[in-house]
A and B are shown apart, each in its own frame.
Chain A
């Protein structure tokens, strides 16, 4: 039972981070029908920028509590990621908006590779340790152990996601985003500036990715140039699982994927009598992806994409 609760908590932590990244994929896909491959690498930049900032701040203000330094790191990471994402959108995606579908996908892969190599040049190819800013003392809940970081990850993502729901459903910008994703041409006739809406979508996605990057780095204590790729891929799976283009779907899909992965990794050894171990953790996401695409391609909550081809 303790293992179960522990894995559920770990799954929720992992899942909330997947959800945050998945939101970026799903919002961009909802509007542009584009898989923004570089999204995971934007997250890498968020994590690494916050790491550098945190190390600097720690050296400059030794007495300041860890939470503030972490906040400083996050505040540095968000503008970097937003700028990066806007530049990518402007340079690599906007000129190809009316090109055949494969074209932006191929540039997206190219951008992802370029970002990885830039990150490697700036921060080196080794794993960097994230400074220990928040107390690591375990808190015991029903026999499972939780840390402050994990509680913060779960609660902060919940708050951010509620905020995002309000933004999408209650504000002018949110309405413009929904309108553009339904039909960009009609939306622009109604006075929506699609370029602005698309840029705003990229910016929001990038800010969420920056947050997720900081969370990843603090939870696991390491950051490196390749760290965003696999979570990015899995977050995309989460977005598909929830129904791509669907904002609540991405949140639920992310949490579900985190739970499945963590429970799967925890129990696969027992269930298969030791034939497969937790080293197969990464397999689950892909198997789920294939299964969802075959049996329910619209995802759990259904996709909110007007199919224009």
Chain B
């Protein structure tokens, strides 16, 4: 909390009260949204997934200053890892797997989620290792190409060996099961009925909070300061003894980890994955969230992700009825309008508010610098 609202830093009581209020709000949120319809609760769950993605991308773009346009590839890697290891698909297509696991592969999430994170991190390193020497704009193009490569492979790896089931995607993916609680069914906790969407909302909430804590800790760590030093001036950072290559690789793999976990959750939540969910536009949407909120500023990024993730839901409920009322027909579809506004947002934010809606209070925030500058002033 204190790193979000610095004025609370010296007031422990106020900080606790603020934290309590926020916690109550976050817990009550799906029930408030549920009164508007289940679609909103679903949108809230997706909002949390996008916050995780945006936080991950923020490590790469915001902290380390490496423009990654293929970030969604790591989301895809996580999603497909979960999908393959927790669905009947592989057992149906490979005899030896079917022999070993007659009921299909149904691994526990305690195994699959760390594995998804690990494999995504591995892909991050695989992508990063050869290209990190490149100048920023080359890096952007190569990561974009990498994102497309992953999608092309997901689309085409259905023959001769059917690994990804091609454009049809993988279905019948297991829901999350923790202990005896199956997240796909409505659960009854002490008389309180909770349907599947609500359960996932709370699960994602926990994961998002963990992500936020990790991000804040990273930002204030030695590694976080190294990232920001590289972002500001790579040569100076090198001169200060930072191993630029390793630190950049860590940014890539840690960012990818977030994407991998979010992807695995997406897979479990949807019960279905196909390459269509991982197109370039998705990478750009996540980038727009980070840029709109405030590059490198965690609260800003969360705000950006929340705004842009809930925005389509809002559009869906306003654009069509408004146009029907005005023109009697739908001229601009909500989805098209949404992409256009995202594109405009990228341009306008860069032109008029390059640090985002909720910018970092100081250039390259970290407590040490703040204290020094206060002394100097």
| A-to-B contact residues, CB < 8 Å | 33-35, 91-92, 95-96, 99, 101-107, 109-114, 116-118, 120-121, 233, 236-237, 240, 274-277, 279-280, 282-283, 285-287, 289-290, 293-294, 297
For A102, the chain B residues whose CB sits under 8 A away are 61, 65, 67, 136
- Pair B340/A113 contact, Cβ less than 8 Å: yes
For B332, the chain A residues whose CB sits under 8 A away are 121
For B69, the chain A residues whose CB sits under 8 A away are 109
- Say yes or no for B20: interface residue by CB 8 A criterion: no
CB-contact partner of B152 in A34, A283, A293, A297, under 8 A: A283
B contact residues, total (Cβ < 8 Å): 44
Residue of A nearest to B280 (CB): A229
- Known pairs A233-B141, A294-B131; A286 contacts B284 (CB<8 A): no
A274–B156 CA distance with the chains assembled, in angstroms: 13
For A92, the chain B residues whose CB sits under 8 A away are 347, 351
Binary contact track B139-160/A, C-beta < 8 Å → 1, others 0: 0111011101100110110011
A32 smallest CB distance to B (angstroms)? 11
- Known pairs A95-B351, A110-B346; A233 contacts B284 (CB<8 A): no
- Pair B347/A117 contact, Cβ less than 8 Å: no
A103–B65 CA distance with the chains assembled, in angstroms: 11
Binary contact track B16-58/A, C-beta < 8 Å → 1, others 0: 0000000000000000000000000000000000000000000
For A274, the chain B residues whose CB sits under 8 A away are 160
A167–B347 CA distance with the chains assembled, in angstroms: 33
For B141, the chain A residues whose CB sits under 8 A away are 35, 233, 236-237, 240, 289
| B-to-A contact residues, CB < 8 Å | 61, 65, 67, 69, 130-131, 133-134, 136-138, 140-142, 144-146, 148-149, 152-153, 155-156, 159-160, 281, 284, 287-288, 291, 332, 336-337, 339-340, 342-347, 350-351, 354
- Pair B140/A35 contact, Cβ less than 8 Å: yes
A276–B160 CA distance with the chains assembled, in angstroms: 8
- Pair A105/B136 contact, Cβ less than 8 Å: yes
The 10 closest A-B pairs by CB, nearest first: A110-B346, A113-B343, A286-B145, A117-B340, A114-B343, A110-B347, A110-B343, A107-B350, A107-B347, A103-B350
A113–B146 CA distance with the chains assembled, in angstroms: 19
CB-contact partner of B130 in A91, A104, A294, under 8 A: A294
- Pair A105/B140 contact, Cβ less than 8 Å: yes
For B288, the chain A residues whose CB sits under 8 A away are 110
Residue of B nearest to A295 (CB): B130
Residue of B nearest to A276 (CB): B156
A103–B346 CA distance with the chains assembled, in angstroms: 9
- Pair B142/A279 contact, Cβ less than 8 Å: no
A101 smallest CB distance to B (angstroms)? 5
Residue pairs across A and B with Cβ atoms less than 8 A apart, 30 shown, are A33-B137, A35-B141, A95-B351, A101-B137, A102-B65, A105-B137, A106-B287, A106-B291, A110-B342, A110-B343, A113-B346, A114-B343, A114-B344, A117-B339, A233-B141, A233-B144, A233-B145, A274-B160, A277-B159, A279-B155, A279-B156, A280-B156, A283-B152, A283-B153, A286-B145, A290-B130, A290-B142, A293-B130, A293-B134, A294-B131
For B351, the chain A residues whose CB sits under 8 A away are 92, 95-96, 107
